[in-house]
Structure 1
Amino acid sequence: MAETRKRRSERVSESSGKRAKATKKVKPKKKHRGLKIFGVLILLILLVGGVLGGKAYLDVKKASTKAYEQVDRQTEAKLPSLKAKSPFTFLFLGVNGDTANDILLLTVNPKQDKMTVISLNRDIYLTSENTTLKELYGTKGVAGEIDALQNLFGVEIPRYVKFDMAGLGDFVVAVGGIQVSNNTHFIANGYEFEKGTQHLTNAEEVRGFLTKVGDDPAKADADLIEREQAVLMAIIPKMKSVGTVLNYNKFITAFGNNIKTDFVLGNLEMLGLQYNSVLGGITKENLKPAKTMIDDKEQLILPEDKINKAHDKIEEALNE
């Protein structure tokens, strides 16, 4: 199917694909998208954190070592005891290239079986940094995001998890392929994607499907986010299958290649075994920024009351 699509695409120009009429779409709510990503991570952690043993455990250890990446941050925050099920907050970033598309602060409290999610609009402008959250990642990386958010909200963020959206194709291969619905006809990476159900089976094909296309930057961005969400939602149910568990090697390799975190293997094991109950009690807060003019340019900023609200929600979620 993928090769047929690719050969057919060679007879169709890129420009004609861009001119194809697209159906009207509604931009997905980022808070749901972020939680889907976190669902993927929890399932990954459960797989990584002790479901498999023997040779598999050695592979898991190797992958977690590859995924481990300490960042040179300016702020300080101490990770509490995970063995004691202590609540804590960490930063989740869903990135694509030099841009952070999903920015979430997650406070997990297994003693109350709750998870509080603060979803941040990536276009929020930080006056302290003179840039937006999405662009800050490109200039200062994960460390810059952690420092800025810890200072903004006045809460400790001891750990982070970064998910490279460009590597979703590796997870598609690991689960044996997926089916997704496509609303726009386009060509990318040598593949033609028509409207309707698409069967994606290899990483190169998925990368094409997750390419930003179109002449309208805002619409192209929204369309890309929608396609990323569709791929994520198709991966999740297949991750639970027996076939995926038996095919753990590809799965673990995808973990090591596309996730970066400063959680060590022991942390991941504890999260998977002690903290998975938090998915049963999710509280979501999507902070809405306000438009304002800064240096003759319209920007989105978080009003003081929204900052205080987020601070209070996180502090409340940390109560044992």
Structure 2
Amino acid sequence: MGRHKPKKKRRGLKIFLVVLLVLVAGIGAYGYSIYHNLSKAANAVHSPVDRTPEVKRSSDLELSKREPFSVLMLGVDERAGDKGRSDTMIVITVNPKLKSMEMLSIPRDTYVEIVGRGTQDKINHAYAFGGVEMSMNTVEKYLDIPIDYYVKMNMEGFQDIVDAVGGVTVNNDLDFTQGGHHFAVGELNLNGKEALNYARMRKNDARGDFGRQMRQRQVIQGVMNKGANISALWKYDDVLKALSKNVETNISFDEMKSIQKNYADARHNIEQIQVEGSGGFIGKVWYYFVSDEERAKIQDKLKEHLELK
């Protein structure tokens, strides 16, 4: 694997939340009031995207029939006058029959075709060029699978969500210090600020961006586990407020209810997938290159999980 060229790091956290499971966890358990507030929050974050898919299904996805589906997670640092880049891109496939999820982190510097631009560039530039639509189309063509849904999070507000669910628990395999916080090896309970620093560290890890991606996925799983725990509903109002301010998705409230009903068990068995490649320069710009063989291997794995083969 090539060595990443050092670069100035954005200050936003480079991870985000699997919001669909958190929003609908325990629906109906506390009666109409919570149901009403969940509906209101779901409508607030709902933002449909109008696009022509690069990879089409043979028939429309039916969640009521427990068909496997995919989600593109985008972690974006947005500032005034700057649309931002999706420095975190995670594709999740969910198969309820296997009761499993596959979680693929796509390195932000991966050299790909940017669909709609007719150029080759870093995959995270797709968001800067064309927002959610171009990101979905680019990832869809690169992986050769349908991307059914997206969840976009403004990472500046992520620590509020971690705090709202009562923090997260992770298993750390590397002793390091980041942002004034020391992270020892072993099981750690992290609040929002600690989770932000834990997941953003890259320079002191010999694995570079891959180590950071692993920590990102750990925090995502931690939020999922806390958000889907019935005890988190005691603070549901804080959770919903944090989500409403920082999340957008094309998943409707009815679809969220169907996912909660038919797919919730899948979160207990998550396989993390790493993209193998090498780094190098084109001119003075550093990219991450993935071979055709590696790309085909990942495509086949995701297609099998989505029951498309």
Question: Is TM (by shorter chain) over 0.5?
Answer: yes
The CA distance in 2 between the partners of 1:297 and 1:287, in whole Å, is 20
Return the alpha-carbon distance in structure 2 between the equivalents of residues 254 and 74 of structure 1: 31
Partner of 2:32: 54
AA at the equivalent of 2:266? V
**Aligned partner (choices 88, 96, 100) of residue 114 of structure 1:** 100
Instruction: Give, as a single letter, the amino acid of the residue that structure 2 aligns with 1:278.
Output: A
C-alpha RMSD of the superposition:
3.9
* Higher relative helix content: 1
Alignment correspondent of 1:10:
none
What amino acid is the match of 2:306?
A: L
Contact 1:177 1:200 in 2 (8 A): yes
Partner Cα separation in structure 1 for residue 212 and residue 197 of structure 2: 9
Return the alpha-carbon distance in structure 2 between the equivalents of residues 233 and 306 of structure 1. 26
Q: Aligned-pair distance for 1:146?
A: 0.8
2:274 paired with 1:286: yes
Other-structure match for 2:244 = 256
The alpha-carbon deviation at position 63 of structure 1 amounts to 0.7
Question: Any residues of structure 2 matched to 1:22-33 within 5 Å, and which?
Answer: none
The alignment-based identity, stated in percent, is 22
- Count how many residue pairs are aligned between Structure 1 and Structure 2: 274
Shift of 1:263: 0.6
Q: Distance in 1 between matches of 2:306 and 2:178?
A: 47
Distance 1:227 1:154 in 2: 27
Deviation per CA, 1:55-106: give whole Å up to 9, x if none. Answer: 2111111111111112243426465110110112221222333232322222
Q: How does 1:1-320 map to 2 (within 5 A)?
A: 41=19, 43-47=21-25, 49-75=27-53, 77=56, 79-97=60-78, 98-128=84-114, 129-175=119-165, 183-184=176-177, 186=179, 193=180, 195=182, 239=227, 244-295=232-283, 297-319=285-307
Query: Using the alignment, how far apart are the partners of 2:226 and 2:307 within structure 1?
Result: 35
Q: Which moved more, 1:141-150 or 1:232-241?
A: 232-241
The Cα offsets for residues 148-198 of structure 1, whole Å up to 9 and x where unpaired, read as 111222221121112332212322442456799995475xxxxxx465799
What residue identity is the alignment partner of 2:272? K
**Distance across 1 between alignment mates of 2:221 and 2:99:** 24
Q: Is the 8 A contact 2:23 2:38 kept in 1?
A: no
Deviation at 1:52, TM superposition (A): 4.0
Rg: which structure is higher? 1
Q: Compared with structure 1, are the counterparts of its residues 104 and 241 closer, same or farther at alpha carbon in structure 2 (3 Å cutoff)?
A: closer
**Against the structure 1 CA distance between its residues 80 and 52, is the aligned structure 2 distance closer, same or farther, given a 3 Å change threshold?**
farther
AA matched with 1:92 = M
Deviation at 1:244, TM superposition (A): 3.1
- 5+ residue gaps in structure 2? 1-13, 79-83
Instruction: Provide the rounded CA distance (Å) in 1 between the counterparts of 2:195 and 2:268.
Output: 32
Question: Which stretch has the larger CA shift, 283-292 or 152-161?
Answer: 283-292
Instruction: Give unpaired runs (5+ residues) of structure 1.
Output: 1-32, 187-192
Kept after mapping to 2: 8 A contact 1:42/1:276: no
1:291 and 1:101 map into 2 onto residues whose CA distance is 17
Measured against aligned partners, the alpha-carbon deviations of 1:201-254 in whole angstroms (never above 9, x if no partner) come to 7x8x789969989xxx95699799899778767756654666531221111122
Q: Shift in Å at residue 118 of structure 1?
A: 2.7
In the alignment, the residues of structure 1 paired with residue 189 and residue 299 of structure 2 have an alpha-carbon distance, to the nearest angstrom, of 43
Pick closer, same or farther for the CA change 1:48–1:142 going to 2, 3 Å. farther
Structure 1 residues 284, 68: CA separation in 2 closer, same or farther (over 3 Å shift)?
Answer: same
Q: With structure 1 as the length reference, what TM-score do the two structures score? A: 0.68
How has the CA–CA distance of structure 1 residues 51 and 304 changed in structure 2, closer, same or farther, with 3 Å as cutoff? Answer: farther
| AA partner of residue 301 (structure 1) | F
Amino acid in structure 1 at the alignment position of 2:246: N
> What is the TM-score with the length of structure 2 in the denominator?
0.70
